[in-house]
């Protein structure tokens, strides 16, 4: 972000104020769709492009970031391939939802509940899954609309809790239903210019700041999109600041100069959209801590845990216990597990004024399928700390399980030794997983997912979850 530090802080303050007022509309693009796999991430569209190329039996020399699917489509069409088969083939190679972990940036955006309207420029269902998981306990309550020429108008937002408009359609076997290539996107944009087919919800964008995140628009499309959202000539609009966080679009000198002279109130950040969302989430959560009413002592920051909805204790959840200084690492572990459809009891958010705090903690641990103490140098302190109450509840429960049924799974996030005498004797004798700073790996996530699924299956009387 090429701003002086003072200006940068003012920018963040203004953006957070706009979000607080419920005015900002995120425009979510494919750069936020990194799928955690192994020790790194794989962009969803790169994964789909490789699968599509294999299915169509075409060779692609390179996959340009942001244009991976275009590269495959062009190679296929160059040999006079069937256009319709291109779209149905892409639908067939899309992995089922259960095999796609939800990317962390989408979960971070979903936690900002002031975001009620989202514009998506992708054709997948990951954003809807993130919103359903974080806000509605996994229930499919997000209202999803897909624009295509001739599609029904979703109307005004009204009091809807979460709405997504897929501006370039949703994945379908029909070429008319979604945009795969740049030519498709041109046709969609052309259709959006017509008063008869333009969704009314887009009229709201003229008065609301846009937060354009990782869409990878080419120069021409970025200009068209900003004009659609402006409601008038870009040089004539006043009192509306859009934010463009997109490495590819921000790097185009032509676009930057265009905006500088014709719409200087648009902020273009040339950095990574994922990093931008992470910083936004950090600042939002720091400004909105939700501690239990009337609680005291070492209580973690309250954040709604993905998959738990609002203020509910879900039996069979994974209980994360940690020192408040380690909340960032604990949150990273929580997000990795939640992205694989595991319900995580992350903190004390479910407690309200008048609750018996100790009783609810005990019930939450007794009802959990796994207890994961996050261990660090911060847990070696000699001062009284609340996490030790959680540890003791879990230690009381552990002897009730058979030897072949893991319940306590310690995770170390720094170089703390397992032999430290400040730790419970049982913890010292268990197998530890080391996840520096909470960075999970695939074996850890898969192990917990297997244990979690076995528990859910047992609760269903042996039926698969």
Q: 90 and 144: one domain? A: no
Contact 222, 255 (CB under 8 A): yes
Q: Where are the beta strands (DSSP E) in 222-289?
A: 243-245, 267-269
Q: What was the pLDDT predicted at 378? A: 92
Domains held by the chain: number:
3
Domain final position from 229, 249, 279: 279
Domain-located, residue 125: yes
Q: Is residue 184 part of a domain?
A: yes
87 and 108 share one domain: no
Q: Which of 77, 97, 117 is the last residue of a domain?
A: 97
Residue 397 covered by a domain: yes
- Identify the band that residue 236 occupies on the pLDDT scale cut at 50, 70 and 90: low
Per-residue DSSP letter, 160: -
Report pLDDT for 411. Answer: 96
> Where is pLDDT greater, at 456 or 313?
456
Identify the pLDDT of residue 387.
Answer: 87
Mean pLDDT in the chain? 80
Read off the CATH number of the domain in which 326 is found. 3.40.50.10140
pLDDT at 449: 92
Domain co-membership, 119 together with 84: no
Please name which of 41, 130, 135, 164 lies closest in space to residue 339, comparing C-alpha atoms.
Answer: 130
One domain, residues 163 and 73 = no
Check whether residue 14 and residue 86 sit in a common domain.
no
Same-domain status, 142 and 78: no
Buried b (16+ CB within 10 A) or exposed e, 289-312: eeebeeeeebbbbbbbbbbbbeee
107 and 90 co-located in one domain: no
Rg (the chain; Cα; Å): 24
Clarify whether residues 205 and 296 are in a common domain.
no
Q: What is the pLDDT of residue 76?
A: 92
Residue 172 CA to residue 81 CA, distance in Å, equals: 19
Kindly report the pTM of this predicted structure.
0.66
- Last-in-domain residue among 80, 97, 114: 97
Mean pLDDT of 33-60: 88
> Does 402 map to a domain?
yes
Please indicate, yes or no, whether residues 168 and 218 belong to a single structural domain of this protein: yes
Going by the DSSP 8-state scheme, the letter that residue 155 receives in this structure is -
Highest-confidence range of 169-183, 220-234, 402-416, by mean pLDDT? 402-416
Same domain, residue pair 224 and 316? no
Least confident piece of the model among 61-70, 78-87, 301-310, 434-443: 301-310
Greater pLDDT, 66 or 348: 66
Per-residue pLDDT at 256 exceeds 70:
no
Confidence of residue 460 (pLDDT cuts 50, 70, 90): low
Q: Is 286 inside any structural domain?
A: no
**Cα distances (Å, whole numbers) of residue 392 to 63, 215, 295, 361, 398:** 53, 48, 19, 11, 10
Distance CA 224, CA 245 (A): 17
pLDDT for the residue numbered 41 = 81
Half-sphere exposure of 441 (CA within 13 A, CB side): 8
The answer to whether residue 285 sits within a structural domain is no
Same structural domain for residues 272 and 256? yes
What residues make up the domain containing 68?
37-97
The C-alpha atoms of residue 314 and residue 291 are separated, in whole angstroms, by 19
**Cα distance between residue 413 and residue 376, in whole Å:** 6
* The pLDDT value given to residue 117: 92
Going by pLDDT thresholds of 50, 70 and 90, the confidence category of residue 240 is low
Are 127 and 241 contained in the same domain?
Answer: yes
Q: What is the CATH number of the domain that holds 9?
A: 3.40.50
- Taking the chain, what is the end-to-end CA distance rounded to the nearest angstrom? 45
CA dist 401 to 157, 217, 394, 406, Å?
Answer: 50, 54, 11, 8
| For residue 394, pLDDT beyond 60 | yes
Residue 265's pLDDT is what?
65
């Amino acid at each position: 972000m090429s701003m002086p530090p003072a200006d940068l802080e003012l920018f963040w303050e203004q953006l957070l104020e706009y979000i607080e007022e419920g005015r900002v509309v995120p425009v979510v693009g494919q750069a936020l769709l990194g799928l955690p796999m192994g020790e790194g991430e794989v962009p969803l569209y790169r994964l789909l492009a490789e699968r599509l190329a294999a299915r169509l039996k075409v060779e692609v020399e390179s996959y340009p970031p942001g244009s991976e699917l275009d590269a495959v489509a062009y190679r296929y069409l160059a040999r006079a391939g069937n256009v319709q088969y291109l779209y149905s083939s892409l639908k067939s190679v899309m992995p089922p939802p259960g095999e796609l972990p939800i990317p962390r940036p989408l979960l971070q955006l979903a936690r900002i509940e002031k975001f009620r309207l989202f514009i998506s420029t992708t054709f997948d269902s990951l954003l809807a899954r993130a919103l359903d998981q974080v806000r509605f306990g996994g229930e499919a309550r997000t209202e999803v609309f897909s624009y295509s020429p001739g599609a029904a108008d979703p109307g005004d937002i009204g009091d809807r809790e979460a709405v997504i408009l897929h501006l370039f359609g949703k994945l379908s076997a029909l070429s008319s239903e979604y945009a795969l290539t740049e030519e498709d996107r041109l046709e969609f944009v052309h259709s959006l210019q017509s008063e008869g087919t333009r969704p009314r919800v887009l009229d709201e964008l003229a008065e609301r700041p846009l937060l354009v995140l990782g869409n990878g628009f080419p120069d021409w499309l970025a200009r068209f999109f900003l004009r659609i959202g402006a409601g008038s000539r870009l040089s004539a609009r006043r009192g509306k600041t859009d934010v463009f966080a997109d490495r590819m679009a921000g790097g185009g000198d032509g676009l930057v100069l265009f905006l500088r002279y014709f719409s200087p109130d648009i902020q273009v950040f040339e950095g990574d959209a994922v990093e931008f969302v992470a910083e936004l989430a950090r600042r939002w959560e720091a400004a909105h801590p939700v501690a239990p009413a009337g609680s005291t002592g070492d209580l973690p920051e309250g954040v709604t845990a993905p998959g738990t909805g609002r203020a509910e204790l879900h039996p069979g959840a994974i209980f994360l216990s940690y020192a408040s200084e380690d909340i960032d690492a604990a949150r990273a572990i929580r997000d990795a597990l939640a992205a694989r459809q595991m319900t995580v009891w992350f903190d004390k958010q479910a407690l309200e004024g008048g609750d018996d705090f100790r009783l609810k903690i005990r019930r939450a641990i007794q009802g959990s399928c796994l207890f994961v103490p996050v261990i660090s140098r911060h847990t070696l302190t000699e001062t009284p700390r609340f996490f030790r109450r959680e540890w003791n509840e879990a230690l009381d429960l552990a002897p009730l399980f058979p030897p072949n049924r893991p319940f306590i799974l310690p995770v170390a996030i720094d170089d703390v030794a397992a032999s430290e005498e400040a730790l419970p004797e049982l913890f010292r004798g268990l197998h530890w997983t080391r996840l520096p700073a909470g960075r999970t790996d695939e074996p850890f996530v898969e192990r917990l997912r297997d244990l979690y699924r076995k528990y859910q299956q047992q609760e269903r009387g042996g039926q698969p979850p």
